[in-house]
Amino acid sequence: MTAVARDRLIERLIACTPEERARVIRGLGAPHKRELVERWWLWAHAGQIAPAGDWRVWMIRAGRGFGKTRAGAEWVSQYARDQPGARIALVGATLEDVRRVMVKGASGLLAVARADEAPMWHASSGEIEFPSGARAFVYSAAAAEKLRGPEHDAAWCDELAKWRGEEAWDNLMMTLRGREDARIVVTTTPKPVPLMRKVIRMRGLIETQGRTAENPHLPRSFVEAMTDEYAGTRLGRQELDGELIEDVEGALWTRETIERCRVDEAPGLVRVVIGVDPPVSVGGDACGIVAVGLGRDGTGYVIEDASVQGATPERWAQAVAACAARHGADRVIAEKNQGGDMVASTLKAADAGLPVTLVSASRGKSARAEPVSLLYEAGKVRHAGAWPGLEDELCGLVIGGGYDGPGRSPDRADALVWAVTALMLGKKREARVRVV
């Protein structure tokens, strides 16, 4: 096959779906498959390309299947070509992880090597010898003492979030004294562990973030299945979207509590209430709009977060009316502190028949939320589906007052609190109520 024919074949393959591409590649001979492997830069997506300029640590923090391992292996391979005689550390959670994934895996160093390179893997000593004379050494984060003494020019650290403790990282950093411009590549799916937080705060860090769905070479069926099953959940946001999901110290809600209260769908409901936290001004905070239903089993079910951001009074009122209509709501509970009777008149303008109850808060958001959080702890409120924006705000409300979540104010969370309070706490609620 001529070079022109190869280029045309590669262009056609890139234009194919992952499934079509897999069928074509299975029919190619070994030389053609090798050619495709070696032209990796034509296949790589933007998140796999090393950043330009001076950097000390490049972290690829992304979901599974993003292509982190391939990016790390290709970077190390190119570094070995460019730096003859370099000493490179390969560090994983365990020695088995390094050998199985970083060295011998489907996207590991041996698999991505060019046909004319043939790096030598010395299993007994745990070393890879590259044709340039560069060498890579295998280390386990579980045996941090092994990183005392050696000297390296570069390092590839895989699945940092799986490492136990920080000692291996600290020892590794002290070995990077072979060159003035020593560099580390970190490939990991995130978890809220101290080492992740420490590395993310490092000076000179450049971070690439990405989602599983951003890899165009994954089978569509896999991406769709994972999205259907896990989208919006803590596991999905962490393992598929590459988000670092943390709990706030002293928060009324924890991620574990919310996950424990999650169900796929609500059962038959006997009553539905829409909680509304109106914004102070147009273009400011969101208008919190949350629908909560009471099941025949006596459990409350959060069935929709219909909140809108930066909306005019007419638009957010229409959003409330539409949410009430979708769920056949019995009542809309809206806070009047910021807008007085204007809130009721705005809602009535959107739907004259809307059953509106105005509530006036006499305590802060966290104080109002605490009784509702206790219902979650008791398993009496559940989330039918995943509502990431709302859940992030709930997990930002702190015991004793304060808010440490996204945005300036927990508008979605406050709307939920109004709805659950009206639906489940009855006369125990602290607000003054007026039906209009």
Beta bridge partners of 91: 139, 157
**Among candidate residues 166, 182, 157, the one with its CA nearest the CA of residue 101:** 157
pLDDT (tens digit per residue) in 297-309: 999 999 999 999 9
Greater pLDDT, 246 or 275: 275
pLDDT (tens digit per residue) in 224-267: 888 888 888 878 888 888 887 777 878 899 999 999 999 999 99
The strand ranges marked E within 199-317 are 205-210, 262-263, 269-277, 288-295, 300-305
pLDDT (tens digit per residue) in 29-52: 766 666 666 667 667 788 899 998
Position 431 confidence tier, pLDDT thresholds 50, 70, 90: very low
DSSP calls for 14-51: HHS-HHHHHHHHHTS-HHHHHHHHHTHHHH--GGGSPP
Residue 6 has a pLDDT of 57
Residue 247 has a pLDDT of 75
| 178 phi and psi angles, rounded to 5 deg | -80, -25
Residue 307 has a pLDDT of 97
pLDDT (tens digit per residue) in 7-24: 666 667 666 776 676 677
Position 287 confidence tier, pLDDT thresholds 50, 70, 90: very high
The whole-chain average pLDDT of the chain stands at 87
433: pLDDT strictly greater than 90: no
Strand, coil or helix: 364 = coil
Question: d(Cα 417, Cα 409) in Å, to the nearest integer?
Answer: 14
Question: d(Cα 271, Cα 292) in Å, to the nearest integer?
Answer: 9
DSSP 260: H
In sequence order, the 6+-apart residues with CB closer than 8 A to the CB of 302 are 290, 291, 292, 381, 382, 383, 384, 387, 390, 416
In sequence order, the 6+-apart residues with CB closer than 8 A to the CB of 345 are none
Query: What's the rounded mean pLDDT across residues 283-311?
Result: 92
168: pLDDT strictly greater than 80: yes
28: pLDDT strictly greater than 80: no
Residue 172 has a pLDDT of 96
* Residue carrying structure tokens 């390179």: 117
